[in-house]
């Protein structure tokens, strides 16, 4: 591997991320303001189930004052009229108080004037203790999680991927039972698949849920239910079992907060997945993902990025370099949000057509290249899905080859393949057999990667060189154009999105002079 080319790729990714960060620093979103209110302790819903934080922020946006920040308005309300933050949030959401708090000359269609220096100072003075309490809540949850993990170390051997499985019944209480069953069968990580299209909801449902299509809604109470179930499994199995969910879409920052305080270990959190595969506006996504990752970093949560999805819409051989290029960019974004390499789980996948000659060598070349380029990262390796058919026996062999590639290239996290992938949602026995086969491959080939030296000039080496060269060429092009244009031209996953298109664009506001968000300021410090 040419280390100079790797360094060039990182420098170009940093240039790309700098351009985006400039935009992020100048803007806020309805999601950012909602998560700030949640962190400060604002809770509850109205009689229609709409979260109070949504009511507050929507009213702020309708008044054209989103650019001031929810903190400024909330703190000023307490400073002037008393009560606690919950009282003030309810007064603003349900009453006429907001119009009396905003600066004179303000209107929904006029530029948002700043608060006076005295009003801003009064607002911030009120928020000091609530911000400290919010950080303490994250820190206490992280300490409890890490203490429990230390008391029950995982049984996976160093260098062997953690075995990651999913549950997806739609009913959180059934999910809890299945999660414990998966742990009993040998899973190291259990993910509750999120209900179909929840990423497109611009609010987070409240409480436990028992109905969901294709998965279960991500809510704070649902997170707590699964955490309790996996804590029980941890004690019973005498090894720590990790929990993960999804922090993406229009509420990614809010879900990151919920995961932080409910002790989740991992989150699927990607700077570009929602843009490409859910048609969420890119400007909205970049701002929201930055704040979500600030929370995630404080909580010590490992993120998983979604580059594996690129290969479900693009050819895994011809477009392999787009995965590596996106990984470099995701790394640069994450570093700007304060995430260390040890929390940055970059994703890729085993998606080459199995009928292609030497397909296994091509898969190994990509996996080995990713592993070496990102040596400290908890790489997440995704199973074959694109070429799964109704032939479950062939699918089982396909997954076994995937497992072999994963263990020999020292992947960190492996989502296990299901041999019934193309037929139905996996049955309990499908998951059990997948875990059983994976344990066999991981055990019997545990040290295989340490024994191998790749042939100089061979297929694996030359393929890795080719992918790195193509990655460097692509990043050079993206850096010259800017990622906004590159995405609009379909550079990633062969999917085209426009800068002002997609869902959620209306939920962005430019920060006004004197914008206040002491919670985010504290996370950045």
Please count the structural domains in the chain: 2
Share of the chain above pLDDT 90, in %: 88
Specify if 206 maps to a domain.
yes
Q: Poorest-confidence range of 3-17, 360-374, 399-413, 420-434?
A: 420-434
pLDDT score of 156 = 56
List the catalytic residue out of 203, 273, 350, 515: 273
Compute CA distances 102 → 36, 79, 114, 384, whole Å.
Answer: 19, 14, 9, 55
Q: Is 152 a catalytic residue?
A: no
Give pLDDT tens digits for 3-26: 999 999 999 999 999 999 999 999
Q: Poorest-confidence range of 195-199, 402-406, 424-428, 435-439?
A: 424-428
Beta bridge partners of 87: none
My answer on whether 432 and 375 are in the same domain is yes
pLDDT score of 110 = 66
Beta bridge partners of 189: 164, 242
Q: Is 380 a catalytic residue?
A: yes
Beta bridge partners of 191: 166, 244
Q: Is 308 a catalytic residue?
A: yes
My answer on whether 116 and 147 are in the same domain is no
Cα separation, 27 vs 442, in Å, equals 47
pLDDT score of 298 = 98
If we measure between CA atoms, which residue out of 43, 260, 255 comes closest to residue 130? 43
Give pLDDT tens digits for 308-337: 989 988 999 999 999 999 999 999 999 999
Cα separation, 56 vs 90, in Å, equals 8
Number of Cβ within 10 Å of residue 96's Cβ equals 8
My answer on whether 176 and 70 are in the same domain is no
Specify if 225 maps to a domain.
yes
| Verdict on whether the full-model pTM lies above 0.85 | yes
**433, 448, 465: which is the final residue of a domain?**
465
Q: Is the pLDDT of residue 424 over 70?
A: no
300 or 421: which leads in pLDDT: 300
203 or 156: which leads in pLDDT: 203
Cα separation, 330 vs 16, in Å, equals 10
My answer on whether 61 and 150 are in the same domain is no
Per-residue HEC secondary structure of 257-278 comes to HHHHHCCCCEEECCCCHHHHHH
Specify if 209 maps to a domain.
yes
Give pLDDT tens digits for 110-165: 667 788 899 999 999 999 999 999 999 999 999 999 999 999 986 655 668 999 99
List the catalytic residue out of 163, 180, 380, 503: 380
Mean pLDDT, all residues of the chain: 94
Cα separation, 446 vs 19, in Å, equals 43
Label residue 47 by pLDDT band (50, 70, 90): very high
Per-residue HEC secondary structure of 470-522 comes to HHHHHHHHHHHHCHHHHHHCCCCCCCCCCCCCCECHHHEEECCCCCCCHHHHH
For 305-396, list the strands marked E by DSSP.
344-345, 347-349, 380-382
What does the DSSP 8-state code read for residue 142? H
Specify if 357 maps to a domain.
yes
Specify if 471 maps to a domain.
no
Tokens standing for residue 522: 């504290």
Cα separation, 143 vs 261, in Å, equals 11
Cα separation, 141 vs 39, in Å, equals 14
Cα separation, 307 vs 450, in Å, equals 27
Residue showing tokens 């939920």:
507
CATH of the domain at 312: 3.20.20.440
Specify if 125 maps to a domain.
yes
List the catalytic residue out of 188, 308, 399, 430: 308
My answer on whether 88 and 236 are in the same domain is no
Residues 6+ apart with CB under 8 A from 45: 51, 52, 206
**429, 444, 465: which is the final residue of a domain?**
465
Instruction: Answer for the pair 20, 289: CB distance below 8 angstroms, yes or no.
Output: no
pLDDT score of 107 = 64
By the 10 Å C-beta count (0-12 exposed, 13-18 middle, 19+ buried), 393 is classed as: exposed
Q: Domain residues for 174?
A: 142-465
Q: Poorest-confidence range of 344-348, 402-406, 416-420?
A: 416-420
Instruction: Answer for the pair 53, 88: CB distance below 8 angstroms, yes or no.
Output: no
Q: Mean pLDDT, to the nearest integer, of 459-473?
A: 98
pLDDT score of 157 = 59
Cα separation, 322 vs 412, in Å, equals 21
My answer on whether 105 and 154 are in the same domain is no
Q: Is the pLDDT of residue 423 over 80?
A: no
Instruction: Answer for the pair 260, 138: CB distance below 8 angstroms, yes or no.
Output: yes
What is the chain's length? 525
Between strands 27-29 and 413-415, the pairing is unpaired
My answer on whether 89 and 199 are in the same domain is no
pLDDT score of 390 = 86
Cα separation, 23 vs 287, in Å, equals 8
Cα separation, 233 vs 183, in Å, equals 6
Specify if 18 maps to a domain.
no
Number of Cβ within 10 Å of residue 390's Cβ equals 10
My answer on whether 96 and 220 are in the same domain is no
pLDDT score of 100 = 86
Label residue 49 by pLDDT band (50, 70, 90): very high
User: CB-side exposure of 421: number of CA atoms within 13 Å?
Assistant: 22
Q: Mean pLDDT, to the nearest integer, of 354-360?
A: 96
My answer on whether 68 and 155 are in the same domain is no
Compute CA distances 441 → 170, 361, 380, whole Å.
Answer: 32, 17, 18
pLDDT score of 109 = 67
Which contiguous run of DSSP H or E holds residue 6?
helix 3-26
My answer on whether 69 and 218 are in the same domain is no
My answer on whether 65 and 191 are in the same domain is no
My answer on whether 163 and 129 are in the same domain is no
Specify if 503 maps to a domain.
no
């Amino acid at each position: 591997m040419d280390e100079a080319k790797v360094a060039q790729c990182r420098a170009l990714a940093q240039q790309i991320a700098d351009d985006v960060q400039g935009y992020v620093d100048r803007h806020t979103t309805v999601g950012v303001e909602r998560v700030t209110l949640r962190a400060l302790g604002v809770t509850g819903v109205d009689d229609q189930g709409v979260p109070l934080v949504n009511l507050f922020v929507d009213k702020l946006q309708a008044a054209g004052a989103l650019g001031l920040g929810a903190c400024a308005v909330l703190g000023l309300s307490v400073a002037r009229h008393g009560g606690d933050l919950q009282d003030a949030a309810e007064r603003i959401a349900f009453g006429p108080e907001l119009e009396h708090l905003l600066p004179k000359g303000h209107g929904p269609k006029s530029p948002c004037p700043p608060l006076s220096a005295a009003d801003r100072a009064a607002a911030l003075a009120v928020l000091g203790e609530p911000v400290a309490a919010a950080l303490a809540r994250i820190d206490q949850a992280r300490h409890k999680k890490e203490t429990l993990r230390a008391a029950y170390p995982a049984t996976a051997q160093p260098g062997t991927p953690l075995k990651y499985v999913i549950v997806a019944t739609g009913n959180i209480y059934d999910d809890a039972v299945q999660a414990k069953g998966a742990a009993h069968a040998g899973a190291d990580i259990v993910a509750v698949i999120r209900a179909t299209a929840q990423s497109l909801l611009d609010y987070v449902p409240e409480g436990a849920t028992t109905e969901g299509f294709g998965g279960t809604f991500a809510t704070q109470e649902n997170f707590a239910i699964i955490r309790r179930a996996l804590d029980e499994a941890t004690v019973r199995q005498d090894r720590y079992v990790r929990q993960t969910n999804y922090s993406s879409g229009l509420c990614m920052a809010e879900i990151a907060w919920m995961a932080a305080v409910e002790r989740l270990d991992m989150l699927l959190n990607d700077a570009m997945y929602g843009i490409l595969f859910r048609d969420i506006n890119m400007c909205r996504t970049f701002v929201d993902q930055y704040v979500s990752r600030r929370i995630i970093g404080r909580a010590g949560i490992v993120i998983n990025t979604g580059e594996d999805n690129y290969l479900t819409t693009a050819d895994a051989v011809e477009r392999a370099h787009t995965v590596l290029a996106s990984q470099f960019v995701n790394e640069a974004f994450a570093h700007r949000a304060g995430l260390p390499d040890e929390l940055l789980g970059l994703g890729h996948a085993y998606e080459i057509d199995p009928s292609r000659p030497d397909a296994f060598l091509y898969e190994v070349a990509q996996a080995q290249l990713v592993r070496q380029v990102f040596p400290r990262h908890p790489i997440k390796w995704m199973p074959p899905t694109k070429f799964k058919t109704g032939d479950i026996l062939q699918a089982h062999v396909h997954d076994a080859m995937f497992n072999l590639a994963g263990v020999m290239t020292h992947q960190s996290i492996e989502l296990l393949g299901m041999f019934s992938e193309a037929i139905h949602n996996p049955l309990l026995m499908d998951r059990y057999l997948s875990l059983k086969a994976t344990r066999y491959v991981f055990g019997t080939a545990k040290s295989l990667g340490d024994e191998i030296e790749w042939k100089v000039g061979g297929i694996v080496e030359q393929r890795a060189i080719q992918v790195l060269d193509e990655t460097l060429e692509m990043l050079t092009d993206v850096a010259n154009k800017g990622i906004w244009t590159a995405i609009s031209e379909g550079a990633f996953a062969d999917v085209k999105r426009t800068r002002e298109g997609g869902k959620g664009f209306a939920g962005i506001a430019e920060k006004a002079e004197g914008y206040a968000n002491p919670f985010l300021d504290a996370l950045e410090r």
